[in-house]
A and B are shown apart, each in its own frame.
Chain A
């Protein structure tokens, strides 16, 4: 009876795993397939150039790649200290109402649709940005990074918090018994021993930032250029895909979408692989 049930569970899990693996490979295959003509024609060099001006026949997507990298890194860098602070607060005030409330707010934040973040930012963040810096329209790298940072904040907090609670119980008792205050526990015991969790959380947040299209589309201004400052408009790969697909379906511009997709895919795969590698290294150092 139980054996039979186990058999079904096993097969079910196997099927689910295979399906998701197959889906990923299919995705990769399709991306490759569609960008194939591009990759092996002379257009490739055109694609990987720094100029995007479809009306004059320049189809370079490198500015978008730079935009994606800048925006994701900047927003992760901004979300990191905030996430660390929130986790520290929740850890050091673990039984207080305030920390429970904070955790609840963070949970709720994850369920707010991305478009709301963008929408609210357009009205709340963009005007003061325009006024304070008195440059441009307020739709720029910094505005998008601030909003995107807020968007990936709950992801980082929740993943790291889960690590902390998982590693927490016995470590906390030990460090209490050694006379460490809650803040000292967090800094000198929890943080070092959950550093793997922190890296995972940051990577996850970063990948979310790379993949997000809505925020840069709504807030970054979408000029396909190399930004000279944080106040310049940028375009990301994801926003580029969305923009071109919405307007065009034939030209070289259309083709660049597949290359963008492929590039996004490769970037995220590389970051994930790097994270995996880091984690394994840290693990073996601990042993």
Chain B
């Protein structure tokens, strides 16, 4: 029913590293208000898929990409791989958080504020408000508000991961790509992030890579299983309502 209004459409996407094909003919759609979880073996190409959606794979000289990615925002359609829209805008609209927390070696404040200032061109007090807003989104504000100007590397792994998420949110993306956002978190912080994802999905289309089947069942509206670079199975809400069925499918396809 909402297939008409997909936010992001990946068609026929194939990716090679040197001569080795890592992704083959991927089709994927992300819808507003929906959280899609991507699962698959280690090395199956999940991170590569995420990176090829915002063209981040282009920083590897040996990488070759074929196919199409289309981003449909309220006002315009952007063909990610052929558009005349600047790459920096594409990257900003398709926000991405890495598998390992990657804070910049600056203060907590500057980690969020610098990209806002540079990519969005904001100035003055707007930046401060934006930083606070973003940090509140990931419920990090209360933990760091007294030490905003300490180096970000003084934060714990989980806090760093949330800081990275806040940094991405501050740039007003249309789509969120999260590569194992809870990989370095204890179970309680992971639950917090999961709750956060539930909130965020009302505003962004989200694609999350996860290694935890339990987590997948808790947060997913849709699940895509990827194996050796191919999308082998897609499960909708109906199938996910029945955990036994879900685990059976995973047994066969994973």
Contact = CB atoms under 8 A, between A and B. Distances in A.
Interface stretch (A76-84, A170-178, A210-218, A243-251): A170-178
A173 B115 CA distance: 14
A178 B102 contact: no
Interface stretch (B85-93, B191-199, B201-209): B85-93
Nearest to B120: A179
A131 B113 CA distance: 53
Contact of B154 (A173, A188, A189, A287): A287
Contacts of A41: none
Contacts of B52: none
Contacts, number: 63
Nearest to B95: A177
A286 interface: yes
B96 interface: yes
A17 interface: no
Interface stretch (B54-62, B74-82, B234-242): B54-62
Given A178-B119, A180-B115, A287-B154, A171 B104 contact: yes
Given A170-B102, A188-B118, A192-B106, A177 B96 contact: yes
Interface in A132-185: 167, 170-181, 184
A193 interface: yes
Pick from B88, B89, B92, B171 the residue with the most CB of A within 10 Å.
Answer: B88
A176 B118 CA distance: 12
A43 B245 CA distance: 98
A167 to B, nearest CB: 8
B157 to A, nearest CB: 15
Contacts of A193: 104-106
A174 B59 contact: no
A220 B88 CA distance: 50
Nearest to B117: A188
A179 B91 contact: yes
B56 A95 contact: no
Nearest to A170: B102
Contacts of A192: 106
Nearest to A181: B88
Contacts of B167: 178
Contacts of A170: 102
Interface of B: 54, 56, 59, 61, 86-92, 95-96, 98, 102, 104-106, 114-115, 118-119, 151, 153-154, 167-168, 171
26 contacts: A95-B61, A167-B105, A170-B102, A173-B56, A174-B98, A176-B59, A177-B91, A179-B87, A179-B89, A179-B91, A179-B115, A179-B119, A179-B171, A180-B88, A180-B115, A180-B118, A180-B119, A181-B87, A181-B88, A184-B118, A188-B114, A189-B104, A193-B106, A286-B151, A287-B153, A287-B154
Interface of A: 95, 167, 170-181, 184, 188-189, 192-193, 285-287
